[in-house]
């Protein structure tokens, strides 16, 4: 495929590397080339099969809008915009493009969320729960999209009306560490996922773009990763 990679930061650069390893042609646009979505005109995107976005919350909606208006499929790893999910879902339906997003493109994290879903049963017994997440000091949003996804999954699976508290830490070079701690008067359950590198996110995002080829509609990676 011809892939346009938006963002050449810590994660986008690894996504471009993995896409090239998987024999895709990859163009890259960072903030200089893509101010006000300048790189995303229909003309510029003419030969592009899919756009993958690992940029920042301030520009993601402009990027999504431009890609949809140009009729291009898009995979979004950027977090911090989920208050606009409904608006984006409507836009994708109107423009009849393909769109796939994830707070976390790592297959390991998605397995971990399944484990958290099963463990949420503890809250129907004598347990209370807490979520902790740690990321590098440069991460712009908090809590992480993954921690919020875990919070929602645990609430829905436990039938509870209250959300677990999320505590966020920003320090050093931590790639991404998420913990669910369930505590009763007699014991404590720790569940932890610790990303060793950004490669897991990158492989998931590129395989998601391959999966999305030729499809239309609005997809959450959580619903499709088992098919990859």
Ligand X SMILES: NC(=O)c1ccc[n+]([C@@H]2O[C@H](COP(=O)([O-])OP(=O)(O)OC[C@H]3O[C@@H](n4cnc5c(N)ncnc54)[C@H](OP(=O)(O)O)[C@@H]3O)[C@@H](O)[C@H]2O)c1
To the query of whether residue 72 is one of the catalytic residues in this protein, the response is no
Does residue 29 contact residue 67 with C-beta atoms inside 8 Å?
A: no
Give the one residue of 59, 64, 150, 212 binding ligand X; rule: CB under 6 A: 59
Confirm or reject binding of residue 143 to ligand X (CB under 6 A): no
| From 24, 43, 72, 135, the catalytic residue | 135
As a whole number of angstroms, the distance between CA 66 and CA 223 comes to 25
The single residue listed with the structure tokens 């991404």 is 176
Query: Restricting to residues 154-173, which ones interact with ligand X according to CB under 6 A?
Result: none
Torsion sign, CA atoms 130, 169, 133, 191: negative
Strand order in the sheet with 73-76: 25-29, 2-6, 50-53, 73-76, 98-101, 217-220
Query: Considering only 48-56, 113-121, 163-171, 184-192, which stretch makes contact with ligand X by CB under 6 A?
Result: 48-56
DSSP-assigned letters across all residues of 143-158: S-HHHHHHHHHHHHHH
As a whole number of angstroms, the distance between CA 88 and CA 199 comes to 27
Query: Considering only 67-75, 77-85, 113-121, 150-158, which stretch makes contact with ligand X by CB under 6 A?
Result: 77-85
Give the one residue of 44, 73, 79, 151 binding ligand X; rule: CB under 6 A: 79
As a whole number of angstroms, the distance between CA 59 and CA 225 comes to 26
Query: Restricting to residues 90-109, which ones interact with ligand X according to CB under 6 A?
Result: 102-105
To the query of whether residue 125 is one of the catalytic residues in this protein, the response is no
| From 139, 140, 178, 196, the catalytic residue | 139
Confirm or reject binding of residue 78 to ligand X (CB under 6 A): yes
Interface with ligand X by CB under 6 A: which residues? 6-12, 29-32, 34, 54-56, 59, 77-80, 102-105, 138, 141, 201
**Positions marked active-site:** 135, 139
């Amino acid at each position: 495929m011809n892939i346009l990679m938006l963002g050449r930061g810590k994660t986008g650069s690894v996504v471009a590397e993995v896409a090239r390893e998987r024999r895709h042609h990859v163009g890259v646009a960072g903030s200089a080339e893509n101010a006000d979505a300048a790189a995303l005109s229909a003309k510029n995107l003419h030969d592009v099969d899919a756009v993958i976005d690992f940029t920042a919350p301030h520009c993601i909606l402009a990027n999504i809008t431009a890609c949809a208006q140009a009729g291009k499929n898009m995979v979004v790893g950027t977090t911090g915009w989920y208050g606009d999910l409904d608006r984006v879902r409507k836009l994708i339906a109107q423009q009849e493009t393909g769109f796939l997003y994830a707070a976390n493109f790592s297959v390991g994290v998605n397995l971990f969320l399944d484990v958290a879903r099963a463990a949420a049963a503890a809250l129907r017994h004598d347990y209370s729960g807490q979520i902790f997440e740690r990321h590098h000091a440069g991460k712009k949003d908090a809590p992480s999209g993954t921690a919020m996804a875990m919070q929602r999954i645990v609430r829905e699976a436990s039938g509870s009306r209250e959300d677990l508290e999320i505590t966020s830490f920003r320090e050093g070079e931590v790639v991404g560490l998420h913990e669910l701690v369930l505590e009763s008067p007699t014991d404590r359950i720790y569940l932890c996922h610790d990303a060793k590198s950004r490669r897991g996110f990158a492989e998931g995002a590129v395989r998601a773009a391959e999966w999305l080829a030729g499809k239309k509609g609005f997809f959450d990676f959580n619903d499709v990763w088992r098919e990859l």
